[in-house]
């Protein structure tokens, strides 16, 4: 066993100092530099370290990491089938196969998926830790692990069993490539330690014979003794403000010539935003962290196709897929418009006969692709990958992915382009479409995409742990809040702290210590600027505990955290009060108006201007969740079909059965999901006997259903060429003779009663009466039919007079608009409470509002 000499480096020592110390140590022991191996913690330090030795001239030592050194000694042992590969996609499949045959594993899909993830995570951690154990002692190491994770009964039995599966899976893996280091005999070993102990490198040196000198240069020893000359902090208002401030500080360092700048990626989502802001200014970046592969466009295209192929896919998922692929977007827009117009929320509800232009053939072509996924209940993984490849090809997605860095990594991660690399395992794994989609999603989520560095990179995006011993001129550190820095590390999914420590897996305490040590390095040399926001949406955030501890260290040294000075230009603008808008728009008057347009004009002229003249209404969401509106549309169609098919009155039981049968047919026709529609369907089943009873009372009174869902359009002379149009739910012929207009309502009857107490305030029934006045000589009645817990008919007391007043009043309003009258935003409650145009009129920003 070799004795390891230890030398503590002064804080602030650079690679030139380290190279000089190593040369002195080697000369004192008669070690030739060309036979000496210098191990550094991570690959980003190789360049500066090798450059320092090159500047000194003469023979050069080998400067390596443990991984690069092992790779130079020969190829890694080839793993056998089913062994750990550290490929997320492959290992998740093997873990699922290991667990699927165990009776004690949870059958619930979500719980099973959690178990697979926990086993893979644990097996990877245990095998990485085992690589630091000398090969001769590794059998004892695995046996000790088996004793630690012996089976138990009762609470924790499943977790213990999963941990044992992970342990045995790791123990069966082929020898790691770094085992070659234990057999290598250089002239001497030198380990540069910064950011914590390297267990593997230390084990390698301990295993050397006494004839191989070993030196450990400790850059951590004095890191807590000095602080950077400038430590600045800023408290930001929110996510966007923090990103903008961090980008501004980076640009300021570049303006001053302080290169390179380290941008610490503590909050990955925030860092993507900072990166985007810097790229707008043409800043060259080298990103060492990247982001999840699942967030790239290529991954989104793959997942969009799989989600659209699901049996219960919504039309929204279909449109997501069509928009991400290279389909003709004009035809896609036609399909989307039809879905919004017709309320098609489910894919199976789309009626191709109602599509126009290129939309119908495009839908047919897309459905052929999706049907290849739905044609089989279960397939082998290799078959699913073949189908996925064909689906990507058919939508012209595959070719761009092959030329895109992220796309190429997606194909590599899923083994779409190289299925032979694991063809045996893929051919033996049977999956449903849902399981295959979940596997693809998890594989893309586990992988990271690191973009290529700009050739003139002046800013390096790096994690906190890789700041040490690198020649940064300045450090910009966003995300220094208590949710992203100094967070209490969570427990291991399957190992307790004692088990993890015994197996060499980093414990929560060790991870906290490593982060604190890396933080100490970050604030020990170059100027550093911290940014943290006080809230993340509605969730309050505090400064990181490490930042607060730094403040105490500074205070003990007679210093403080300096406040950040925003380097951006400050513009002072005179306040401009926002007044109530009252635009005039005579030229925008439409050719016809609906009842809702007239209601808007009467309630708030500006709402009429925004929604019906400018037509800036927000597009309806294609949400597959069944809502009250969907139920109302379905109910209208059910009642129309029932009444048009109804002949002579029949017994209540027969009529109720027929109404329920029609309801079921319409539910299937509209593609309403059984589970989502269940609450509404239950309410309708309860409504049916009450409705039939009410209908029979109407029959006894001599009322006769005449027409339903009828469109009407007239041109009142007072409106000077503008038409009014609408669709009337139902018209009955009643004794008198008279014509009764009925409007179905599924909401509360209380609001309707309040409205009818002031007949001239009710626009809807009066509007419908105005539509039919020219075609009948009989009196007109109108009522709301409340279809709730109690069926109530709520008649309008004088609908014909109200209709005449409505037509006259709206005609006068239209005449004023033609003469240039303004359309003011009245800003009255309750009209403003749920108005879609409130953001446009800026009601909340009016002066004095």
pLDDT of 185-203, one tens digit each? Answer: 999 999 999 999 999 999 9
What is the reported pLDDT for 231?
96
For 637-696, the pLDDT digits (tens) are 999 999 999 988 899 999 999 999 999 999 888 777 777 788 888 999 999 999 999 999
* Closest residue by Cα to residue 440 from 487, 387, 484, 393: 387
Q: How confident is the model at residue 803 (pLDDT cuts 50, 70, 90)?
A: very high
DSSP-derived 3-state class of residue 286:
strand
Average pLDDT for residues 25-53, to the nearest whole number?
93
* Closest residue by Cα to residue 65 from 209, 206, 178: 178
Mention every residue, 6+ apart, whose C-beta is less than 8 A from residue 275.
285, 287, 461
Q: DSSP characters for 301-337? A: HHHHHHHHTSTT-BHHHHHHHHHHTTS-HHHHHHHHH
What is the reported pLDDT for 127?
95
Average pLDDT for residues 365-379, to the nearest whole number?
84
What is the reported pLDDT for 625?
64
Q: How confident is the model at residue 547 (pLDDT cuts 50, 70, 90)?
A: very high
CA distance linking residue 168 with residue 179, whole number of Å: 19
Q: How confident is the model at residue 849 (pLDDT cuts 50, 70, 90)?
A: very low
DSSP 8-state assignment for residue 541: -
For 474-494, the pLDDT digits (tens) are 999 999 999 999 887 778 889
What is the reported pLDDT for 518?
95
What is the reported pLDDT for 581?
86
Q: How many CB atoms lie within 10 A of CB 629?
A: 11
What is the reported pLDDT for 67?
93
What is the reported pLDDT for 813?
92
For 89-120, the pLDDT digits (tens) are 888 888 888 898 788 888 888 888 899 999 99
The whole model's pTM is what? 0.75
**Does 138 have pLDDT greater than 90?**
yes
For 60-98, the pLDDT digits (tens) are 999 999 999 999 988 877 766 778 888 878 888 888 888
Alpha-carbon distance values, 338 to 334, 335, 352, 359, 757 (Å)? 6, 5, 10, 9, 39
For 303-353, the pLDDT digits (tens) are 999 999 988 888 889 999 999 888 888 999 999 988 888 878 888 888 888
Give Cα 449 distance to the centre of its chain. Answer: 16
In contact, 758 and 797? CB cutoff 8 Å: no
What is the reported pLDDT for 97?
85
Q: How confident is the model at residue 624 (pLDDT cuts 50, 70, 90)?
A: low
Please give the mean pLDDT across all residues of the chain.
89
What are the residues facing 785 on neighbouring strands? Answer: 744, 793
Q: Please name the residue that has the structure tokens 């210098």.
A: 38
Average pLDDT for residues 557-564, to the nearest whole number?
94
Q: How large a percentage of the chain has pLDDT more than 90? A: 55
> How is residue 602 written in tokens?
């009467």
For 517-542, the pLDDT digits (tens) are 999 999 999 999 999 999 988 899 99
Alpha-carbon distance values, 447 to 6, 115, 169, 266, 474 (Å)? 38, 19, 21, 18, 30
* Closest residue by Cα to residue 778 from 737, 732, 735: 737
Kindly report whether the peptide bond that precedes residue 260 is cis, defined as omega within 30 degrees of 0: yes
What is the reported pLDDT for 257?
95
* Least confidently predicted of 96-105, 561-570, 697-706: 96-105
What is the reported pLDDT for 674?
75
Q: How confident is the model at residue 503 (pLDDT cuts 50, 70, 90)?
A: very high
């Amino acid at each position: 066993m070799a004795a390891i000499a230890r030398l503590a480096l002064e804080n602030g020592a650079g690679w030139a100092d380290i190279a000089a110390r190593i040369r002195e140590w080697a000369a004192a022991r008669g070690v030739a530099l060309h036979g000496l191996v210098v191990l550094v913690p991570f690959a980003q330090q190789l360049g500066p370290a090798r450059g320092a030795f090159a500047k000194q001239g003469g023979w050069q030592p080998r400067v390596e990491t443990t991984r690069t050194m092992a790779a130079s000694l020969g190829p890694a042992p080839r793993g056998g089938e089913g062994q750990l590969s550290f490929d997320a996609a492959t290992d998740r499949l093997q873990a699922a196969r290991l667990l699927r045959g165990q009776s004690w594993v949870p059958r619930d899909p979500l719980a099973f998926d959690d178990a697979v993830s926990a086993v893979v995570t644990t097996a990877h951690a245990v095998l990485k830790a085992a690589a630091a154990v000398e090969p001769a002692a590794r059998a004892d190491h695995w046996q000790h692990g088996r004793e630690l994770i012996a089976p138990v009964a009762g609470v924790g039995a499943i977790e213990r069993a999963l941990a044992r599966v992970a342990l045995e899976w790791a123990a069966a893996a082929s020898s790691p490539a770094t085992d070659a280091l234990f057999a290598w005999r250089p002239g001497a070993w030198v380990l540069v330690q910064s950011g914590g102990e390297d267990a593997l490198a230390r084990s390698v040196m301990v295993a050397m014979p006494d004839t191989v000198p070993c030196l450990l240069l400790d850059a951590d020893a004095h890191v807590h003794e000095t602080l950077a000359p400038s430590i600045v902090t800023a408290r930001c208002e929110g996510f966007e403000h923090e990103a903008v401030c961090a980008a501004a500080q980076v640009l300021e360092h570049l303006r001053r010539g302080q290169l390179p700048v380290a941008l610490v990626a503590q909050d990955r989502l925030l860092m993507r935003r900072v990166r985007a802001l810097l790229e707008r200014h043409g800043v060259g970046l080298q990103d060492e962290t990247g982001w999840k592969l699942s967030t790239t466009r290529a991954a989104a295209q793959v997942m969009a196709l799989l989600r659209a192929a699901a049996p219960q896919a919504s039309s929204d998922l279909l449109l997501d897929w069509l928009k991400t692929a290279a389909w003709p977007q004009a035809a896609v827009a036609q399909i989307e418009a039809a879905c919004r117009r017709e309320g098609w929320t489910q894919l199976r509800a789309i009626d191709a006969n109602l599509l126009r232009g290129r939309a119908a053939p495009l839908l047919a072509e897309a459905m052929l692709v999706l049907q290849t996924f739905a044609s089989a209940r279960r397939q082998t993984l290799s078959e699913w990958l073949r189908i996925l490849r064909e689906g990507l090809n058919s939508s012209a997605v595959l070719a761009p992915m092959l030329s895109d860095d992220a796309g190429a990594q997606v194909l590599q991660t899923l083994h779409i382009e190289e299925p032979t690399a694991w063809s045996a395992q893929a051919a033996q794994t049977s999956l449903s479409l849902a399981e295959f989609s979940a596997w693809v999603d998890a594989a893309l989520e586990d992988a990271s995409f690191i973009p290529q560095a700009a050739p003139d990179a002046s800013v390096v995006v790096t994690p906190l742990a890789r700041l040490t011993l690198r020649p940064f001129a300045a450090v910009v550190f966003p995300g220094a809040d208590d949710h992203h820095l100094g967070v209490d590390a969570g427990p291991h999914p399957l190992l307790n702290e004692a088990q993890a420590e015994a197996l060499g897996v980093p414990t929560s305490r060790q991870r906290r210590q490593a982060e604190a040590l890396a933080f100490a390095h970050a604030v020990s040399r170059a100027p550093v600027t911290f940014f943290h926001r006080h809230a993340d949406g509605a969730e309050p955030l505090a400064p990181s505990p490490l930042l607060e501890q730094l403040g105490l260290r500074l205070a003990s040294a007679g210093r403080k955290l300096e406040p950040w000075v925003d380097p951006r230009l400050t513009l002072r603008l005179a306040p401009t009060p926002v007044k109530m808008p009252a635009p005039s728009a005579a030229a925008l008057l439409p050719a016809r108006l609906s009842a809702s347009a007239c209601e808007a004009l009467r309630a708030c002229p500006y709402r009429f201007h925004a929604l019906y003249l400018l037509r800036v209404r927000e597009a309806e969401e294609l949400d597959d969740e069944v809502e009250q509106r969907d139920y109302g549309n379905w109910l209208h169609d059910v009642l129309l079909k029932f009444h048009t098919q109804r002949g002579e009155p029949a017994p209540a039981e027969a009529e109720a059965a027929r109404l329920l049968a029609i309801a079921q047919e319409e539910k299937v026709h509209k593609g309403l999901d059984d589970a989502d529609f269940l609450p509404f369907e239950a309410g309708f089943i309860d409504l049916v006997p009450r409705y039939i009873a009410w209908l029979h009372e109407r029959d006894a009174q001599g009322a006769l259903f005449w027409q339903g869902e009828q469109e009407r359009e007239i041109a009142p002379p007072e409106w000077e060429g503008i038409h009014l149009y609408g669709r009337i739910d139902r018209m009955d012929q009643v004794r008198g003779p008279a014509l009764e207009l009925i409007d179905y309502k599924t909401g509360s009857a209380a609001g309707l009663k309040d409205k009818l107490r002031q007949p001239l305030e009710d626009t809807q029934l009066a509007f419908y009466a105005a539509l039919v006045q020219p075609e009948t000589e009989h009196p007109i009645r109108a009522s709301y039919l409340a279809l709730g817990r109690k069926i109530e008919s709520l008649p309008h007391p004088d609908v014909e007079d109200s209709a005449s007043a409505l037509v006259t009043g709206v005609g006068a309003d239209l005449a004023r608009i033609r003469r240039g009258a303004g359309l003011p935003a009245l800003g009255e409650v309750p009209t403003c409470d749920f108005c879609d145009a409130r953001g446009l009129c800026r009601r909340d920003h009016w002066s004095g509002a």
